[in-house]
Amino acid sequence: MTQFRIAPSILSADFARLGEEVRNVVTAGADIIHFDVMDNHYVPNLTIGPLVCEAIRPHVQVPIDVHLMVKPVDRIIPDFAKAGANIITFHPEASEHLDRSLQLIRDNGCKSGLVFNPGTPLHYLEHVMDKIDMILIMSVNPGFGGQSFIPHALKKIAEARRMIDESGRDIMLEVDGGIKIDNIAAAAAAGADTFVAGSAIFGKPDYKAVIDAMRAELAN
């Protein structure tokens, strides 16, 4: 049976109370903390870096999944590994040497992954399937929380699922952007096993109620 994971994105958390927010969302049932890093260069927004990752690390036992929306990627990877990241993903267009960046993540003791924007083809995966632990399909264009799910992402998830199954490798398939209680089952049916949700969880007063409702949808 597929192991489903819920990964709340702290982009929509209250940054003035971040330690408390991450503790609360883990208590509410989060499997992973999704950590969005934006540089106002690769994407038109600016968020948080390794210092904040290091600050929240002692507050949570679950893996921290660092989603790099930065260019270049290589020089920030060791800093995130030292700050306690467990998974580090980046966008292939943001790295000049895909294979090297993936290797760098693993050499620093983290799981590695590639992220695909709605308009980015999956062919970047072709020669690096043995170097990745996660594929992240964006179901919005990166840069902001609270956007609407782009339905075409379902086809892309299904295509990535086929590639993973054909490879026979243990690779997580994550979806990120506009995931809500009412569309999480469709993303799972397409083949996703890890679900990022920012505004759907942190935008509501009861995190556990949302996470439980998402799990109920996944159990159907």
| Catalytically active residues, by annotation | 36, 176
Task: Provide the 3-class DSSP secondary structure of residue 67.
Answer: strand
Output the smallest distance, CB 41 to Zn ion, in A. Answer: 16
Tokens of 121: 């083809």
Residue 29 interacting partner from ligand DX5, Zn ion, none (CB closer than 5 to 8 Å by kind):
none
Question: Which residues within the stretch 129-158 sit at the binding site for ligand DX5 (CB under 6 A)?
Answer: 140, 142-143, 145-147
Query: Per rule CB under 5 A, is residue 67 in the interface with Zn ion?
Result: yes
Task: Find the residue with minimal CB distance to ligand DX5.
Answer: 198
Output the smallest distance, CB 73 to Zn ion, in A. Answer: 14
Select the residue interacting with ligand DX5 from 90, 177, 191, 210 (CB under 6 A).
Answer: 177
Q: Measured between alpha carbons, how far is 164 from 138 in angstroms, rounded to an integer?
A: 17
Site string for ligand DX5, 30-49 (x = CB under 6 A): ----x-x-------------
Give 109 or 209: the residue with its C-beta nearer to ligand DX5.
Answer: 209
Output the smallest distance, CB 130 to ligand DX5, in A. Answer: 26
Burial class (CB in 10 A: 0-12, 13-18, 19+), 18: middle
Site for ligand DX5 (CB under 6 A): how many residues?
21
Query: Residue 112's beta-bridge partner residues?
Result: 88
* Secondary element (H or E) of residue 162: helix 153-167
Residue 152 backbone phi and psi in degrees, to 5: -60, -20
Q: Which residue has the tokens 């969302």?
A: 25
Q: Measured between alpha carbons, how far is 147 from 178 in angstroms, rounded to an integer?
A: 6
Site for Zn ion (CB under 5 A): how many residues?
3
Residue 146 interacting partner from ligand DX5, Zn ion, none (CB closer than 5 to 8 Å by kind):
ligand DX5
Start-to-end CA distance of the chain, whole Å, equals: 13
